[in-house]
Structure 1
Amino acid sequence: MPDTIEDRISAEYPTLSGQLRRAADFVAANPVDVATRSLRAMAQSSGVSPATFSRLARTLGFEDYESLRETQRAAMGERLVPYAQRAEELRRGDQAPQTFLHRQAGVCSQNIALLERTISGERLSAAVDALHDAGKVLLVGLLGSAGIADYICYQAQYFARNWAVAGRSGSSLAASFASMSPGDAVIVLTKAPYARDSIRAAQVARANGFRTIVLTDSHTCPALEVADHPFIVPSQTANFFSSYTATLVLIETMMSMLVSRVGPEAEARIRATEEQTRQLTEV
Protein backbone atom coordinates (compact mmCIF):
# COMPACT_ATOMS: atom_id res chain seq x y z
CA MET A 1 0.00 0.00 0.00
CA PRO A 2 1.40 3.49 -0.87
CA ASP A 3 2.75 5.51 2.06
CA THR A 4 0.54 8.62 2.19
CA ILE A 5 -2.95 9.73 1.24
CA GLU A 6 -1.52 11.67 -1.68
CA ASP A 7 0.40 8.58 -2.81
CA ARG A 8 -2.85 6.61 -2.75
CA ILE A 9 -4.56 9.35 -4.74
CA SER A 10 -1.80 9.37 -7.36
CA ALA A 11 -2.00 5.58 -7.73
CA GLU A 12 -5.77 5.67 -8.32
CA TYR A 13 -6.06 9.05 -10.06
CA PRO A 14 -6.02 7.84 -13.71
CA THR A 15 -9.07 5.62 -13.05
CA LEU A 16 -11.15 8.07 -11.00
CA SER A 17 -14.36 9.57 -12.36
CA GLY A 18 -14.69 13.31 -12.74
CA GLN A 19 -16.49 13.73 -9.41
CA LEU A 20 -14.01 11.55 -7.55
CA ARG A 21 -11.16 13.55 -9.08
CA ARG A 22 -12.75 16.76 -7.76
CA ALA A 23 -12.90 15.23 -4.31
CA ALA A 24 -9.34 13.88 -4.59
CA ASP A 25 -8.00 17.26 -5.72
CA PHE A 26 -9.66 18.96 -2.76
CA VAL A 27 -8.31 16.40 -0.28
CA ALA A 28 -4.77 16.73 -1.65
CA ALA A 29 -4.88 20.53 -1.71
CA ASN A 30 -6.42 20.97 1.76
CA PRO A 31 -4.70 18.59 4.21
CA VAL A 32 -5.38 20.80 7.23
CA ASP A 33 -9.10 20.97 6.44
CA VAL A 34 -9.24 17.20 5.98
CA ALA A 35 -7.55 16.69 9.36
CA THR A 36 -9.63 19.20 11.31
CA ARG A 37 -13.04 19.72 9.71
CA SER A 38 -16.14 17.54 9.53
CA LEU A 39 -17.28 15.76 6.39
CA ARG A 40 -20.25 18.12 6.13
CA ALA A 41 -17.98 21.19 6.33
CA MET A 42 -15.68 19.71 3.68
CA ALA A 43 -18.64 19.15 1.39
CA GLN A 44 -19.85 22.74 1.84
CA SER A 45 -16.41 24.19 1.12
CA SER A 46 -15.70 22.04 -1.92
CA GLY A 47 -19.11 21.71 -3.54
CA VAL A 48 -18.60 17.94 -3.56
CA SER A 49 -21.21 15.77 -1.84
CA PRO A 50 -20.41 13.88 1.38
CA ALA A 51 -21.24 10.64 -0.42
CA THR A 52 -18.53 11.35 -2.99
CA PHE A 53 -15.91 11.92 -0.29
CA SER A 54 -16.97 8.67 1.37
CA ARG A 55 -16.76 6.84 -1.95
CA LEU A 56 -13.30 8.31 -2.52
CA ALA A 57 -12.14 7.11 0.89
CA ARG A 58 -13.20 3.54 0.09
CA THR A 59 -11.58 3.73 -3.35
CA LEU A 60 -8.32 4.72 -1.66
CA GLY A 61 -8.48 1.68 0.60
CA PHE A 62 -9.97 3.22 3.75
CA GLU A 63 -12.92 1.72 5.58
CA ASP A 64 -14.71 5.07 5.53
CA TYR A 65 -14.07 8.81 5.39
CA GLU A 66 -13.40 9.01 9.13
CA SER A 67 -10.52 6.54 8.71
CA LEU A 68 -9.08 8.76 5.98
CA ARG A 69 -9.40 11.79 8.26
CA GLU A 70 -7.66 10.02 11.15
CA THR A 71 -4.80 9.05 8.86
CA GLN A 72 -4.46 12.66 7.74
CA ARG A 73 -4.47 13.85 11.35
CA ALA A 74 -1.59 11.52 12.17
CA ALA A 75 0.31 12.65 9.09
CA MET A 76 -0.16 16.33 9.87
CA GLY A 77 1.13 16.02 13.44
CA GLU A 78 2.87 19.18 14.55
CA ARG A 79 2.37 20.88 11.18
CA LEU A 80 -1.01 22.22 12.29
CA VAL A 81 0.45 24.86 14.60
CA PRO A 82 3.08 26.22 12.19
CA TYR A 83 0.44 26.70 9.47
CA ALA A 84 -1.61 28.82 11.88
CA GLN A 85 1.45 30.79 12.95
CA ARG A 86 2.37 31.51 9.35
CA ALA A 87 -1.17 32.65 8.61
CA GLU A 88 -1.00 35.06 11.54
CA GLU A 89 2.37 36.41 10.38
CA LEU A 90 1.01 36.98 6.89
CA ARG A 91 -2.05 38.76 8.30
CA ARG A 92 0.15 41.10 10.33
CA GLY A 93 2.12 41.91 7.22
CA ASP A 94 5.47 41.93 9.00
CA GLN A 95 8.07 42.79 6.34
CA ALA A 96 11.20 42.45 8.49
CA PRO A 97 13.97 40.40 6.81
CA GLN A 98 14.16 38.06 9.81
CA THR A 99 10.45 37.33 9.42
CA PHE A 100 10.92 36.29 5.81
CA LEU A 101 13.80 34.03 6.86
CA HIS A 102 11.83 32.52 9.74
CA ARG A 103 8.81 31.87 7.55
CA GLN A 104 10.68 30.22 4.68
CA ALA A 105 12.95 28.21 6.99
CA GLY A 106 9.91 27.01 8.91
CA VAL A 107 8.08 25.84 5.80
CA CYS A 108 11.16 24.04 4.48
CA SER A 109 11.71 22.36 7.85
CA GLN A 110 8.13 21.13 7.77
CA ASN A 111 8.65 19.75 4.26
CA ILE A 112 11.68 17.80 5.41
CA ALA A 113 9.88 16.50 8.51
CA LEU A 114 6.95 15.32 6.39
CA LEU A 115 9.31 13.67 3.91
CA GLU A 116 11.00 11.77 6.73
CA ARG A 117 7.67 10.54 8.09
CA THR A 118 6.10 9.50 4.81
CA ILE A 119 8.88 7.96 2.68
CA SER A 120 9.34 4.37 3.76
CA GLY A 121 12.72 2.69 3.92
CA GLU A 122 11.48 -0.05 1.60
CA ARG A 123 10.49 2.41 -1.11
CA LEU A 124 13.76 4.28 -0.80
CA SER A 125 15.82 1.09 -0.93
CA ALA A 126 13.97 -0.14 -4.01
CA ALA A 127 14.76 3.06 -5.92
CA VAL A 128 18.42 2.96 -4.85
CA ASP A 129 18.62 -0.70 -5.91
CA ALA A 130 17.44 0.32 -9.39
CA LEU A 131 20.14 3.01 -9.58
CA HIS A 132 22.84 0.70 -8.25
CA ASP A 133 22.00 -2.08 -10.71
CA ALA A 134 21.70 0.21 -13.75
CA GLY A 135 24.40 0.20 -16.38
CA LYS A 136 23.62 3.86 -17.02
CA VAL A 137 21.63 6.51 -15.17
CA LEU A 138 20.08 9.40 -17.09
CA LEU A 139 18.75 12.53 -15.39
CA VAL A 140 15.91 14.53 -16.92
CA GLY A 141 15.27 17.98 -15.48
CA LEU A 142 13.81 20.94 -17.34
CA LEU A 143 12.59 24.41 -16.39
CA GLY A 144 13.23 24.95 -12.66
CA SER A 145 14.51 21.37 -12.28
CA ALA A 146 17.39 21.83 -14.75
CA GLY A 147 19.89 23.14 -12.20
CA ILE A 148 18.94 20.41 -9.72
CA ALA A 149 19.60 17.71 -12.33
CA ASP A 150 23.04 19.23 -13.03
CA TYR A 151 23.83 19.25 -9.32
CA ILE A 152 22.85 15.60 -8.88
CA CYS A 153 25.00 14.54 -11.82
CA TYR A 154 27.96 16.59 -10.57
CA GLN A 155 27.72 14.83 -7.21
CA ALA A 156 27.25 11.37 -8.73
CA GLN A 157 30.28 11.69 -10.98
CA TYR A 158 32.49 11.79 -7.90
CA PHE A 159 31.86 8.08 -7.40
CA ALA A 160 30.33 6.78 -10.66
CA ARG A 161 31.12 6.99 -14.36
CA ASN A 162 27.70 6.10 -15.69
CA TRP A 163 25.56 9.15 -14.85
CA ALA A 164 24.57 11.85 -17.37
CA VAL A 165 22.05 14.66 -17.79
CA ALA A 166 19.76 14.36 -20.79
CA GLY A 167 19.90 17.07 -23.41
CA ARG A 168 23.19 18.63 -22.30
CA SER A 169 26.34 19.50 -24.27
CA GLY A 170 24.41 19.99 -27.49
CA SER A 171 22.75 16.57 -27.48
CA SER A 172 19.00 16.13 -27.71
CA LEU A 173 16.76 14.15 -25.40
CA ALA A 174 16.42 11.58 -28.18
CA ALA A 175 20.20 11.20 -28.52
CA SER A 176 20.52 10.77 -24.77
CA PHE A 177 17.98 7.94 -24.79
CA ALA A 178 19.58 6.27 -27.81
CA SER A 179 22.60 5.20 -25.74
CA MET A 180 20.44 3.54 -23.06
CA SER A 181 19.55 -0.15 -22.70
CA PRO A 182 16.73 -2.01 -20.91
CA GLY A 183 17.50 -2.14 -17.21
CA ASP A 184 19.17 1.26 -17.21
CA ALA A 185 17.58 3.94 -15.03
CA VAL A 186 16.04 7.34 -15.71
CA ILE A 187 15.36 9.93 -13.01
CA VAL A 188 12.76 12.53 -13.97
CA LEU A 189 12.51 15.67 -11.84
CA THR A 190 9.45 17.74 -12.61
CA LYS A 191 7.29 20.18 -10.67
CA ALA A 192 4.31 22.26 -11.68
CA PRO A 193 4.05 23.50 -14.34
CA TYR A 194 5.20 20.13 -15.69
CA ALA A 195 7.43 20.44 -18.75
CA ARG A 196 5.93 18.48 -21.62
CA ASP A 197 9.31 17.01 -22.56
CA SER A 198 9.83 15.75 -19.00
CA ILE A 199 6.50 13.91 -19.06
CA ARG A 200 7.25 12.50 -22.49
CA ALA A 201 10.71 11.42 -21.33
CA ALA A 202 9.15 9.41 -18.48
CA GLN A 203 6.72 7.76 -20.88
CA VAL A 204 9.46 6.87 -23.38
CA ALA A 205 11.73 5.58 -20.61
CA ARG A 206 9.04 3.23 -19.34
CA ALA A 207 8.18 2.07 -22.89
CA ASN A 208 11.84 1.19 -23.50
CA GLY A 209 12.20 -0.86 -20.34
CA PHE A 210 14.25 1.66 -18.37
CA ARG A 211 13.68 1.77 -14.61
CA THR A 212 11.86 5.07 -14.14
CA ILE A 213 12.13 7.16 -10.97
CA VAL A 214 9.90 10.24 -10.81
CA LEU A 215 10.38 13.01 -8.25
CA THR A 216 7.47 15.45 -8.34
CA ASP A 217 5.21 17.58 -6.14
CA SER A 218 1.62 16.44 -6.71
CA HIS A 219 -0.60 13.46 -7.43
CA THR A 220 -1.73 15.24 -10.63
CA CYS A 221 1.68 14.92 -12.30
CA PRO A 222 1.12 12.80 -15.45
CA ALA A 223 4.57 11.19 -15.14
CA LEU A 224 3.45 9.28 -12.03
CA GLU A 225 1.33 6.99 -14.20
CA VAL A 226 4.46 5.42 -15.75
CA ALA A 227 6.86 5.57 -12.79
CA ASP A 228 8.36 2.38 -11.39
CA HIS A 229 9.45 4.37 -8.34
CA PRO A 230 7.19 7.40 -7.76
CA PHE A 231 7.98 10.01 -5.11
CA ILE A 232 5.66 12.89 -4.26
CA VAL A 233 7.94 15.24 -2.35
CA PRO A 234 6.60 18.04 -0.10
CA SER A 235 7.28 21.35 -1.86
CA GLN A 236 5.32 23.94 0.15
CA THR A 237 6.86 27.38 0.30
CA ALA A 238 6.42 30.85 1.72
CA ASN A 239 8.03 32.05 -1.49
CA PHE A 240 6.24 32.33 -4.85
CA PHE A 241 8.18 29.35 -6.24
CA SER A 242 7.90 25.67 -5.35
CA SER A 243 10.57 24.62 -2.84
CA TYR A 244 13.23 22.06 -3.78
CA THR A 245 14.61 21.75 -0.24
CA ALA A 246 13.00 18.39 0.59
CA THR A 247 13.76 17.15 -2.93
CA LEU A 248 17.45 17.83 -2.33
CA VAL A 249 17.31 15.99 1.00
CA LEU A 250 15.81 12.95 -0.73
CA ILE A 251 18.35 13.07 -3.56
CA GLU A 252 21.31 13.50 -1.24
CA THR A 253 20.03 10.57 0.83
CA MET A 254 19.99 8.42 -2.31
CA MET A 255 23.55 9.53 -3.09
CA SER A 256 24.73 8.51 0.37
CA MET A 257 23.05 5.13 0.07
CA LEU A 258 24.65 4.56 -3.33
CA VAL A 259 28.13 5.37 -2.07
CA SER A 260 27.68 2.93 0.80
CA ARG A 261 26.75 0.18 -1.67
CA VAL A 262 29.37 0.78 -4.34
CA GLY A 263 32.22 0.14 -1.92
CA PRO A 264 36.01 0.64 -2.15
CA GLU A 265 36.05 1.51 -5.86
CA ALA A 266 33.77 4.47 -5.15
CA GLU A 267 36.08 5.66 -2.39
CA ALA A 268 39.05 5.40 -4.74
CA ARG A 269 37.28 7.40 -7.44
CA ILE A 270 36.28 10.09 -4.93
CA ARG A 271 39.89 10.37 -3.74
CA ALA A 272 41.13 10.57 -7.34
CA THR A 273 38.57 13.23 -8.20
CA GLU A 274 39.50 15.26 -5.15
CA GLU A 275 43.17 15.06 -6.08
CA GLN A 276 42.49 16.19 -9.65
CA THR A 277 40.35 19.03 -8.33
CA ARG A 278 43.19 20.08 -6.00
CA GLN A 279 45.69 20.12 -8.86
CA LEU A 280 43.40 22.08 -11.14
CA THR A 281 42.71 24.73 -8.50
CA GLU A 282 46.24 25.14 -7.21
CA VAL A 283 47.67 28.60 -7.77
Structure 2
Amino acid sequence: MGQQQSLQERVSERYSGLSGQLRKAADFVLANPLDIASRSLRAISSDSKVSPATFSRLARALGYATFEDMKEASRRSLGLHVTSLSDKAEKLRADPSLVRTMLQRQSEACIGNIRSFAAQTDEARLADVAKLMREARQVVLFGALASTGIAEYMAYLAHYFAPNWYLAGRSGDSLGSRIAALGQGDVVFIVTKNPFAQRAVIAARQARDVGADVILVTDSYKCPAFSSANYGFVVPSESPQFFSSYAVTLVLIETLIAMIVAGSEADATAAIQRVDAKNQELGEYWSE
Protein backbone atom coordinates (compact mmCIF):
# COMPACT_ATOMS: atom_id res chain seq x y z
CA MET A 1 0.00 0.00 0.00
CA GLY A 2 1.48 3.35 -1.02
CA GLN A 3 2.50 5.74 1.73
CA GLN A 4 0.70 8.60 -0.02
CA GLN A 5 -2.68 6.88 -0.03
CA SER A 6 -5.36 9.03 1.55
CA LEU A 7 -7.67 7.86 4.28
CA GLN A 8 -10.57 7.92 1.81
CA GLU A 9 -8.65 5.75 -0.68
CA ARG A 10 -7.91 3.18 2.04
CA VAL A 11 -11.56 3.04 3.04
CA SER A 12 -12.69 2.76 -0.59
CA GLU A 13 -10.37 -0.16 -1.29
CA ARG A 14 -11.37 -2.15 1.80
CA TYR A 15 -14.96 -1.06 2.48
CA SER A 16 -16.59 -4.12 0.87
CA GLY A 17 -14.59 -6.44 3.14
CA LEU A 18 -15.44 -4.66 6.40
CA SER A 19 -17.93 -6.00 8.92
CA GLY A 20 -21.16 -4.14 9.60
CA GLN A 21 -19.77 -2.39 12.69
CA LEU A 22 -16.54 -1.45 10.95
CA ARG A 23 -18.55 -0.02 8.04
CA LYS A 24 -20.54 2.06 10.50
CA ALA A 25 -17.29 3.39 11.95
CA ALA A 26 -15.88 4.03 8.46
CA ASP A 27 -19.03 5.94 7.46
CA PHE A 28 -18.59 8.19 10.49
CA VAL A 29 -14.88 8.71 9.82
CA LEU A 30 -15.47 9.91 6.27
CA ALA A 31 -18.55 11.97 7.10
CA ASN A 32 -16.88 13.73 10.05
CA PRO A 33 -13.20 14.32 9.20
CA LEU A 34 -12.93 17.40 11.46
CA ASP A 35 -14.19 15.43 14.46
CA ILE A 36 -11.78 12.58 13.75
CA ALA A 37 -8.88 15.01 13.39
CA SER A 38 -9.58 17.11 16.46
CA ARG A 39 -11.65 15.26 19.09
CA SER A 40 -10.81 12.51 21.52
CA LEU A 41 -11.64 8.90 20.80
CA ARG A 42 -14.06 8.87 23.74
CA ALA A 43 -15.99 11.87 22.37
CA ILE A 44 -16.06 10.39 18.88
CA SER A 45 -17.35 7.11 20.28
CA SER A 46 -20.09 8.88 22.24
CA ASP A 47 -21.34 10.84 19.19
CA SER A 48 -21.17 7.95 16.74
CA LYS A 49 -22.53 5.25 19.11
CA VAL A 50 -19.58 3.12 18.00
CA SER A 51 -17.21 1.71 20.62
CA PRO A 52 -13.61 2.95 20.89
CA ALA A 53 -12.44 -0.62 20.28
CA THR A 54 -14.29 -0.67 16.94
CA PHE A 55 -12.54 2.51 15.80
CA SER A 56 -9.20 0.96 16.79
CA ARG A 57 -10.04 -2.19 14.82
CA LEU A 58 -11.01 -0.03 11.84
CA ALA A 59 -7.67 1.75 11.97
CA ARG A 60 -5.83 -1.59 11.85
CA ALA A 61 -8.10 -2.87 9.08
CA LEU A 62 -7.14 0.18 7.02
CA GLY A 63 -3.44 -0.43 7.52
CA TYR A 64 -2.75 2.03 10.35
CA ALA A 65 -0.87 0.90 13.42
CA THR A 66 -3.12 2.81 15.83
CA PHE A 67 -6.19 5.06 15.89
CA GLU A 68 -3.85 8.02 16.39
CA ASP A 69 -2.20 7.24 13.06
CA MET A 70 -5.63 7.30 11.41
CA LYS A 71 -6.39 10.59 13.18
CA GLU A 72 -3.18 12.08 11.75
CA ALA A 73 -4.21 10.90 8.25
CA SER A 74 -7.54 12.69 8.72
CA ARG A 75 -5.66 15.87 9.71
CA ARG A 76 -3.59 15.66 6.53
CA SER A 77 -6.71 15.13 4.43
CA LEU A 78 -8.32 18.19 5.99
CA GLY A 79 -5.31 20.23 5.01
CA LEU A 80 -5.81 19.15 1.41
CA HIS A 81 -9.62 19.25 1.39
CA VAL A 82 -11.33 21.84 -0.78
CA THR A 83 -14.75 22.87 0.49
CA SER A 84 -17.59 22.24 -1.92
CA LEU A 85 -19.60 25.20 -3.26
CA SER A 86 -22.59 22.96 -4.00
CA ASP A 87 -25.99 24.64 -3.87
CA LYS A 88 -27.78 22.27 -6.24
CA ALA A 89 -30.44 22.96 -8.78
CA GLU A 90 -33.17 24.57 -6.67
CA LYS A 91 -30.84 27.22 -5.30
CA LEU A 92 -29.54 27.93 -8.79
CA ARG A 93 -33.10 28.38 -10.03
CA ALA A 94 -34.25 30.45 -7.06
CA ASP A 95 -31.35 32.92 -7.09
CA PRO A 96 -30.63 34.20 -10.63
CA SER A 97 -27.90 36.49 -9.28
CA LEU A 98 -25.69 33.44 -8.91
CA VAL A 99 -25.47 33.17 -12.70
CA ARG A 100 -23.11 36.13 -12.76
CA THR A 101 -20.45 34.17 -10.88
CA MET A 102 -21.20 30.71 -12.29
CA LEU A 103 -18.04 30.43 -14.39
CA GLN A 104 -15.85 31.37 -11.46
CA ARG A 105 -17.69 29.02 -9.10
CA GLN A 106 -17.56 26.09 -11.49
CA SER A 107 -13.89 26.70 -12.31
CA GLU A 108 -12.93 26.91 -8.63
CA ALA A 109 -14.77 23.67 -7.86
CA CYS A 110 -13.10 21.78 -10.72
CA ILE A 111 -9.64 23.14 -9.95
CA GLY A 112 -10.11 22.27 -6.29
CA ASN A 113 -11.17 18.73 -7.16
CA ILE A 114 -8.13 18.26 -9.40
CA ARG A 115 -5.71 19.62 -6.80
CA SER A 116 -7.18 17.37 -4.13
CA PHE A 117 -6.95 14.29 -6.34
CA ALA A 118 -3.39 15.06 -7.45
CA ALA A 119 -2.24 15.62 -3.88
CA GLN A 120 -3.83 12.49 -2.44
CA THR A 121 -3.30 9.93 -5.23
CA ASP A 122 -0.49 7.39 -5.01
CA GLU A 123 1.34 7.69 -8.35
CA ALA A 124 2.93 4.29 -7.91
CA ARG A 125 -0.56 2.83 -7.86
CA LEU A 126 -1.38 4.67 -11.06
CA ALA A 127 1.74 3.20 -12.62
CA ASP A 128 0.63 -0.31 -11.59
CA VAL A 129 -2.74 0.22 -13.28
CA ALA A 130 -1.12 1.61 -16.44
CA LYS A 131 1.19 -1.42 -16.61
CA LEU A 132 -1.73 -3.81 -16.10
CA MET A 133 -3.66 -2.21 -18.96
CA ARG A 134 -0.63 -1.99 -21.24
CA GLU A 135 0.17 -5.69 -20.84
CA ALA A 136 -3.43 -6.96 -20.98
CA ARG A 137 -4.53 -9.42 -23.64
CA GLN A 138 -7.51 -7.15 -24.22
CA VAL A 139 -9.02 -4.13 -22.48
CA VAL A 140 -12.79 -3.64 -22.39
CA LEU A 141 -14.10 -0.15 -21.58
CA PHE A 142 -17.59 0.44 -20.25
CA GLY A 143 -19.50 3.46 -19.03
CA ALA A 144 -23.24 3.93 -18.66
CA LEU A 145 -25.60 6.83 -18.05
CA ALA A 146 -23.56 10.04 -17.68
CA SER A 147 -20.31 8.05 -17.90
CA THR A 148 -21.01 6.75 -21.42
CA GLY A 149 -19.24 9.61 -23.19
CA ILE A 150 -16.22 9.32 -20.89
CA ALA A 151 -15.69 5.69 -21.89
CA GLU A 152 -16.11 6.63 -25.55
CA TYR A 153 -13.47 9.35 -25.23
CA MET A 154 -11.02 6.90 -23.65
CA ALA A 155 -11.69 4.41 -26.45
CA TYR A 156 -11.06 7.10 -29.07
CA LEU A 157 -7.65 7.87 -27.56
CA ALA A 158 -6.74 4.21 -27.12
CA HIS A 159 -7.59 3.25 -30.69
CA TYR A 160 -4.66 5.32 -31.90
CA PHE A 161 -2.21 2.81 -30.44
CA ALA A 162 -4.08 -0.21 -29.04
CA PRO A 163 -6.13 -2.37 -31.45
CA ASN A 164 -6.97 -4.75 -28.58
CA TRP A 165 -9.09 -2.18 -26.68
CA TYR A 166 -12.87 -2.40 -27.08
CA LEU A 167 -15.79 -0.16 -26.15
CA ALA A 168 -18.57 -2.42 -24.89
CA GLY A 169 -22.23 -1.71 -25.23
CA ARG A 170 -21.96 0.76 -28.12
CA SER A 171 -22.27 0.64 -31.91
CA GLY A 172 -23.41 -2.96 -32.07
CA ASP A 173 -20.72 -4.28 -29.71
CA SER A 174 -22.86 -5.68 -26.89
CA LEU A 175 -21.72 -5.73 -23.29
CA GLY A 176 -22.72 -9.38 -22.96
CA SER A 177 -20.63 -10.51 -25.92
CA ARG A 178 -17.55 -8.76 -24.55
CA ILE A 179 -17.95 -10.24 -21.07
CA ALA A 180 -18.47 -13.70 -22.57
CA ALA A 181 -15.05 -13.44 -24.27
CA LEU A 182 -13.18 -12.38 -21.11
CA GLY A 183 -10.68 -14.45 -19.18
CA GLN A 184 -7.45 -14.25 -17.25
CA GLY A 185 -5.08 -11.62 -18.60
CA ASP A 186 -7.94 -9.33 -19.63
CA VAL A 187 -8.86 -5.99 -18.08
CA VAL A 188 -12.27 -4.33 -17.74
CA PHE A 189 -12.25 -0.57 -17.09
CA ILE A 190 -15.58 0.69 -15.72
CA VAL A 191 -16.74 4.23 -14.99
CA THR A 192 -19.92 4.72 -12.96
CA LYS A 193 -21.02 7.45 -10.59
CA ASN A 194 -23.88 7.90 -8.18
CA PRO A 195 -26.60 6.93 -9.06
CA PHE A 196 -24.68 3.84 -10.07
CA ALA A 197 -25.56 2.08 -13.31
CA GLN A 198 -26.91 -1.41 -12.66
CA ARG A 199 -25.24 -2.83 -15.78
CA ALA A 200 -21.87 -1.47 -14.63
CA VAL A 201 -22.19 -3.16 -11.23
CA ILE A 202 -23.24 -6.49 -12.75
CA ALA A 203 -20.55 -6.30 -15.45
CA ALA A 204 -17.85 -5.77 -12.82
CA ARG A 205 -18.99 -8.85 -10.93
CA GLN A 206 -19.25 -11.02 -14.04
CA ALA A 207 -15.83 -9.91 -15.28
CA ARG A 208 -14.21 -10.72 -11.95
CA ASP A 209 -15.95 -14.10 -11.82
CA VAL A 210 -14.26 -15.18 -15.08
CA GLY A 211 -10.81 -14.07 -13.91
CA ALA A 212 -10.49 -10.67 -15.57
CA ASP A 213 -8.99 -7.74 -13.67
CA VAL A 214 -11.46 -4.94 -12.94
CA ILE A 215 -10.54 -1.26 -12.68
CA LEU A 216 -13.30 0.94 -11.30
CA VAL A 217 -13.64 4.72 -11.40
CA THR A 218 -16.44 6.13 -9.26
CA ASP A 219 -17.28 9.01 -6.93
CA SER A 220 -18.13 7.08 -3.76
CA TYR A 221 -16.53 4.33 -1.74
CA LYS A 222 -20.06 2.92 -1.32
CA CYS A 223 -20.28 1.98 -4.99
CA PRO A 224 -21.43 -1.68 -5.01
CA ALA A 225 -18.96 -2.51 -7.79
CA PHE A 226 -16.05 -2.03 -5.36
CA SER A 227 -16.34 -5.59 -4.12
CA SER A 228 -15.46 -6.76 -7.65
CA ALA A 229 -12.64 -4.30 -8.37
CA ASN A 230 -8.93 -5.08 -8.28
CA TYR A 231 -8.26 -1.34 -8.39
CA GLY A 232 -10.76 1.33 -7.40
CA PHE A 233 -10.45 5.09 -7.76
CA VAL A 234 -12.77 7.47 -5.92
CA VAL A 235 -12.56 10.76 -7.80
CA PRO A 236 -13.72 14.09 -6.32
CA SER A 237 -16.78 15.20 -8.27
CA GLU A 238 -18.06 18.16 -6.26
CA SER A 239 -19.77 20.88 -8.24
CA PRO A 240 -21.94 23.97 -7.64
CA GLN A 241 -24.37 22.44 -10.14
CA PHE A 242 -27.05 19.79 -9.68
CA PHE A 243 -24.78 17.28 -11.48
CA SER A 244 -21.40 15.77 -10.64
CA SER A 245 -18.26 17.08 -12.26
CA TYR A 246 -16.21 14.79 -14.52
CA ALA A 247 -13.13 17.04 -14.56
CA VAL A 248 -11.03 14.73 -12.34
CA THR A 249 -12.26 11.66 -14.22
CA LEU A 250 -10.87 13.17 -17.42
CA VAL A 251 -7.56 13.97 -15.69
CA LEU A 252 -7.31 10.37 -14.48
CA ILE A 253 -8.12 8.89 -17.89
CA GLU A 254 -5.75 11.16 -19.78
CA THR A 255 -2.99 10.49 -17.26
CA LEU A 256 -3.40 6.72 -17.61
CA ILE A 257 -3.36 6.95 -21.41
CA ALA A 258 -0.18 9.04 -21.29
CA MET A 259 1.49 6.59 -18.88
CA ILE A 260 0.52 3.63 -21.04
CA VAL A 261 1.99 5.22 -24.18
CA ALA A 262 5.11 6.43 -22.33
CA GLY A 263 5.82 2.90 -21.12
CA SER A 264 5.15 1.23 -24.47
CA GLU A 265 7.65 0.14 -27.06
CA ALA A 266 8.37 2.25 -30.14
CA ASP A 267 5.56 0.50 -32.03
CA ALA A 268 3.03 2.60 -30.07
CA THR A 269 4.40 5.74 -31.69
CA ALA A 270 4.37 4.07 -35.09
CA ALA A 271 0.76 2.96 -34.58
CA ILE A 272 -0.30 6.51 -33.72
CA GLN A 273 1.46 7.80 -36.82
CA ARG A 274 -0.30 5.23 -39.03
CA VAL A 275 -3.74 6.09 -37.65
CA ASP A 276 -3.08 9.80 -38.01
CA ALA A 277 -1.97 9.32 -41.60
CA LYS A 278 -5.11 7.34 -42.45
CA ASN A 279 -7.28 10.03 -40.85
CA GLN A 280 -5.64 12.61 -43.07
CA GLU A 281 -6.12 10.46 -46.18
CA LEU A 282 -9.79 10.10 -45.32
CA GLY A 283 -10.15 13.84 -44.97
CA GLU A 284 -11.14 13.61 -41.30
CA TYR A 285 -9.33 16.84 -40.43
CA TRP A 286 -10.36 20.27 -41.66
CA SER A 287 -7.74 21.97 -43.80
CA GLU A 288 -7.70 25.38 -45.49
Q: What is the TM-score of this pair, normalised by structure 1?
A: 0.85
Alignment partner of 1:5 out of 7, 11, 30 = 7
Quote how far apart the aligned CAs of 1:29 are: 2.9
* One-letter identity of the residue aligned with 1:35: A
Quote how far apart the aligned CAs of 1:32 are: 4.1
Query: 1:173 — aligned with what?
Result: 175
The question of whether the paired residues in 1 share the 8 Å contact of 2:196 and 2:223 is answered with yes
Point out the more displaced range, 204-213 or 23-32. Answer: 23-32
Specify whether residues 96 and 55 from structure 1 end up closer, same or farther in structure 2 by C-alpha distance, changes over 3 A only: same
Identity %: 43
Cα deviations by residue, 1:159-199 (Å, 9 ceiling, x for unpaired): 22111111112232111223334202110111112112111
The question of whether the paired residues in 1 share the 8 Å contact of 2:208 and 2:214 is answered with yes
Superposed, 1:36-47 pairs within 5 Å as 36-39=38-41, 42-43=44-45, 46-47=48-49
Query: 1:182 — aligned with what?
Result: 184
Specify whether residues 110 and 33 from structure 1 end up closer, same or farther in structure 2 by C-alpha distance, changes over 3 A only: farther
Quote how far apart the aligned CAs of 1:132 are: 0.8
Specify whether residues 94 and 280 from structure 1 end up closer, same or farther in structure 2 by C-alpha distance, changes over 3 A only: closer
- The answer to whether the aligner puts 1:280 opposite 2:269 as a matched pair is no
Cα deviations by residue, 1:142-166 (Å, 9 ceiling, x for unpaired): 1111110001001111222111111
Point out the more displaced range, 199-208 or 261-270. Answer: 261-270
- For 1:243 and 1:41, the matched residues in 2 are separated by 35
Alignment partner of 1:31 out of 30, 33, 36 = 33
Partner of 2:221, secondary structure, is coil
Query: 2:242 — aligned with what?
Result: 240
* One-letter identity of the residue aligned with 1:254: L
Q: How many residues get paired?
A: 277
Query: 1:111 — aligned with what?
Result: 113
Superposed, 1:78-157 pairs within 5 Å as 78-79=80-81, 82-83=82-83, 86=85, 95-157=97-159
Query: 1:249 — aligned with what?
Result: 251
Specify which structure has the higher proportion of helix: 1
Cα deviations by residue, 1:70-126 (Å, 9 ceiling, x for unpaired): 1111123243xx528x489x9xx7934353222222222222122212222221111
Superposed, 1:199-238 pairs within 5 Å as 199-238=201-240
Cα deviations by residue, 1:24-62 (Å, 9 ceiling, x for unpaired): 112223334433455455456545455543443343333
* One-letter identity of the residue aligned with 1:257: M
Partner of 1:220, secondary structure, is coil
* One-letter identity of the residue aligned with 2:223: C
Quote how far apart the aligned CAs of 1:218 are: 1.8
Point out the more displaced range, 129-138 or 164-173. Answer: 164-173
* One-letter identity of the residue aligned with 1:167: G
Unaligned runs of 5+ in 2: none
Unaligned runs of 5+ in 1: none
